[in-house]
Structure 1
Amino acid sequence: MSIELRHHTDVEPVRQTVIDIHIEVRQRDLGLSGSFYTADSFNTRLTGHSSRPGWETVIAYDGTEPAGFAYAVPLGPDTRWWDHMTSPLPDEYTVENGKRTLALNEIVVRRPWRGTGLAHRIHEELLAARHEERVTLLVNPKAGDGKVQAVYERWGYEKIGEQQPFPDSPVFVAMMRPLTGVAE
């Protein structure tokens, strides 16, 4: 498997690729349904995330075939990321300045490449050149019967609480890890 990892900071040339992979995996492979998982809803979130300073995606290609992607954006001073925690975190923990915390919004790998370590490669490639202090993500604790959360724990993330960022979204586990200095 000869995988090429490509960085993009402009969503428009890759928007449809990202949407197509997301829909294939979330809806068709995993059978997730409801308004939160529609293409239009995801595209709206993608537009919001990618419009913020510092947004970046890494897309993996096996030849010409896109195999997966991840994208992230720094949390700015006006972020609402922490607003939907079910139990509030200390104020000093949630102060953002655009340089403190990177939000890993999505990481998705297509079925033929799952179990190959590609998700970890994409993740590490995306984080490698980042300068934020820490990285946070949300995971559905039911995904893979808890196996997805366990993967993130192996990657150095720790649960910091739970949140429901949208009325039609699941209640996610919020996780955090330092951006650097984590063993693989």
Structure 2
Amino acid sequence: MNLELRHYTDVEPVRQTIVDIHVEVRQHDFDLTGPFYSAERFNERLSAHSSLPGWETVIAYDGTEPAGFAYATPLGPNTRWWTSMTTPLPDGFTVETGKRTLALNEIVVRRPWRGTGLAQRIHEELLAGRGEDRVTLLVNPTAGDGKVQALYEGWGYGKIGEQQPFADSPVFAAMMRDPLHRV
């Protein structure tokens, strides 16, 4: 495996690659269907995320073949990220400045590269150059019969609550970690 991790801050040159990987993994490999998981809805979310200041993606390539990606966006002062929490968080926890919290929006690895540590490599590469104080993500607690959430816990994330950001999305576990936490 000759993996190269490439950073992008402009979505357009890599949009189709990201959408194609997302569809392959979420719909075909994991059989996640319904409007929320459609290519169109994912592309809408990708457009919304990538239009925000500080958006960045890391895509892993094995030669010329894309193997996986992760992307993240800093939460700005007017973020809606915390509005769909099902239980309140402590005072001040949800105050955002654009530099306090990085939201890891997606991390997806194609089947031939799963189980190789690539997801963690992409994740750590994405966080390595960031200056935010903390990083948050949402995970479907039923994904992989709980194994995906356990993986994030192994990377230093802790569950802080639950949220359902869209009427047709799952209820996600909201997780947080210090970005400098090294596993």
**Partner in structure 2 of residue 7 of structure 1:** 7
Q: Does 1:85 align with 2:85?
A: yes
- For 1:170 and 1:127, locate their aligned partners in 2 and report how far apart those are by CA, in whole Å: 26
Instruction: Give the secondary-structure state (helix, strand or coil) at the position aligned to 1:119.
Output: helix
Structure 2: gaps (5+ residues): none
Letter in 1 for 2:110: R
How far 1:90 sits from its partner (Å)? 2.1
- For 1:3 and 1:128, locate their aligned partners in 2 and report how far apart those are by CA, in whole Å: 17
**Partner in structure 2 of residue 120 of structure 1:** 120
**Partner in structure 2 of residue 20 of structure 1:** 20
**Residues 29-72 of structure 1 deviation map (CA, whole Å, 9 limit, x = unaligned):** 00001110000000000000000000000000000000000000
How far 1:88 sits from its partner (Å)? 1.5
- In the TM superposition, structure 1's runs of 4+ consecutive aligned residues that sit over 4 Å from their partners are none
So what's the TM-score if we normalise by structure 2? Answer: 0.99
How far 1:75 sits from its partner (Å)? 0.1
**Residues 99-130 of structure 1 deviation map (CA, whole Å, 9 limit, x = unaligned):** 00000000000000000000000000000000
- For 1:72 and 1:111, locate their aligned partners in 2 and report how far apart those are by CA, in whole Å: 22
RMSD: 0.5
Q: Does 1:57 align with 2:93?
A: no
Letter in 2 for 1:183: R
Q: Does 1:98 align with 2:98?
A: yes
**Partner in structure 2 of residue 183 of structure 1:** 182
Q: Does 1:110 align with 2:110?
A: yes
- For 1:183 and 1:10, locate their aligned partners in 2 and report how far apart those are by CA, in whole Å: 28
Q: Bigger CA drift: 124-133 or 83-92?
A: 83-92
Letter in 1 for 2:51: S
- For 1:2 and 1:173, locate their aligned partners in 2 and report how far apart those are by CA, in whole Å: 34
Letter in 2 for 1:140: N
- For 1:100 and 1:179, locate their aligned partners in 2 and report how far apart those are by CA, in whole Å: 11
Instruction: Give the secondary-structure state (helix, strand or coil) at the position aligned to 1:91.
Output: coil
- For 1:142 and 1:34, locate their aligned partners in 2 and report how far apart those are by CA, in whole Å: 16
So what's the TM-score if we normalise by structure 1? Answer: 0.99
How far 1:139 sits from its partner (Å)? 0.1
Structure 1: gaps (5+ residues): none
- For 2:154 and 2:44, locate their aligned partners in 1 and report how far apart those are by CA, in whole Å: 31
How far 1:179 sits from its partner (Å)? 1.1
- For 2:88 and 2:13, locate their aligned partners in 1 and report how far apart those are by CA, in whole Å: 38
Instruction: Give the secondary-structure state (helix, strand or coil) at the position aligned to 2:92.
Output: helix
Instruction: Give the secondary-structure state (helix, strand or coil) at the position aligned to 1:12.
Output: coil
**Partner in structure 2 of residue 46 of structure 1:** 46
